[in-house]
Amino acid sequence: MESQKKSGQPANETSTSEEDKEEQCCANTSCEENEKQEPSSPKQGDFSDPVYKEIAMANGTINRMNRDQLCAKCAELKLDTRGVKDVLKKRLKSYYKRQKLMHSAAANGNIDVYFDYICVVDYEATCEENNTPDYLHEIIEFPMVLIDTHTLEIVDSFQEYVKPVVNPQLSEFCVKLTGITQKTVDEAETFHQVLKRAVSWLQKKELGTKYKYTFLTDGSWDMGKFLHTQCKLSCIRYPPFARKWINIRKSYGNFYKVPRTQTKLICMLENLGMQYDGRPHCGLDDSRNIARIAIHMLKDGCELRVNECLHSGEPRSVPISAPIEGAPAPQTPKKRN
């Protein structure tokens, strides 16, 4: 729901409760701003090793290439030739780095995959064309798309619509933007019931028990605003498994070294040489396209890791020094007192 994430006003928060204290997920790891830091390899090795000089020389050669030369080299190496010049540079640099480290004592031979699965979420919520500062966004579509980080494929998806309670009548703007009709939400169940089924879906995948996983979103709004506000409205405790996530906009900007203006969904797709597939602002279609970007980044050598968390009811950056942990096993949502 990109347009609302960009222009929507934060909803008024209710008073501090015991749950707010529980949500201070980064109490042991400072949540100071850290967006400009480049994630470092978990395999630091000895940087005096000659392999790093070879990597630097390869990077210099790549930097001097024009786009036609970059495309030709990617084709020669059987790499994806789509994308703008900066994306092609990053792709080649990552390829040569991986190849050289795999044949060097500076690495063990494999690229670490932090998570077995990445679950992409992109909620759709009630909205007005001009939201007032105290407008409460209610989730009306709950989609999830599951990425297998080993096969680099989308392996499953979940989608349910949700009945809004505070603003049960959808605005004309909301219907036009999301494509979700009044009849659809009228026939849907409440958020609490939908969240239960979403948790059951995650549990059947053995996420957090057998497999390590985390969530990924397009920005901070999905977890930091929409889910947080919805849990308050539904008198549900914020789910512990959703307290940390990957903000793909930050990951994309840091990895490809582009400004924030180039980290919108459509822009990221176009820069990677892809087109949007589906209906914009359909939560499931948005999630699938975000997943396509994540898969492309993994193929280009990006090490996607958690970079945001919910801290005192607000989204905060997670420092690179924080330990790499998967989300806890999902549990049935609990009612608040």
List 137, 160, 228, 281, catalytic entry: 281
| Range name among 8-22, 55-69, 97-111 with the lowest pLDDT average | 8-22
pLDDT band at 39 (very low <50, low <70, confident <90, very high): very low
pLDDT band at 30 (very low <50, low <70, confident <90, very high): very low
pLDDT band at 10 (very low <50, low <70, confident <90, very high): very low
Give the pLDDT score at 48. 62
Segment 69-93, tens digit of pLDDT: 999 999 999 899 999 999 999 999 9
Nearest to 97 by CA among 60, 51, 62: 51
Tell me if residue 281 is catalytic. yes
Give the pLDDT score at 88. 93
Give the pLDDT score at 15. 41
Residue 9 has pLDDT above 60, yes or no: no
Tell me if residue 192 is catalytic. no
Segment 222-244, tens digit of pLDDT: 999 999 999 999 999 999 999 99
d(CA 22, CA 12): 20
Give the pLDDT score at 276. 97
Give the pLDDT score at 148. 97
Angle at 63 between CA 57 and CA 69, to 5 degrees: 110
d(CA 218, CA 143): 13
pLDDT band at 281 (very low <50, low <70, confident <90, very high): very high
143 DSSP assignment: E
Segment 316-329, tens digit of pLDDT: 999 988 999 999 99
pLDDT band at 27 (very low <50, low <70, confident <90, very high): very low
- For domain 117-317, the CATH class is alpha beta
Q: Do domains 50-104 and 117-317 have the same CATH topology?
A: no
What's domain 50-104's architecture? Answer: Orthogonal Bundle (1.10)
Give the pLDDT score at 40. 40
Residue 145 has pLDDT above 90, yes or no: yes
Q: Angle between the 248-256 and 283-299 helix axes, to the nearest 10 degrees?
A: 30
Residue 293 has pLDDT above 50, yes or no: yes
Residue 42 has pLDDT above 80, yes or no: no
Residue 112 has pLDDT above 80, yes or no: no
Q: Fill in the amino acid letter for 313.
A: G
Task: Please report, for the chain, the start and end positions of each structural domain, with discontinuous segments joined by +.
Answer: 50-104, 117-317
Residue 336 has pLDDT above 60, yes or no: yes
Residue 201 has pLDDT above 70, yes or no: yes
d(CA 287, CA 265): 10
Contacts of residue 48, defined as CB under 8 A and 6 or more positions apart, other chains included, come to none
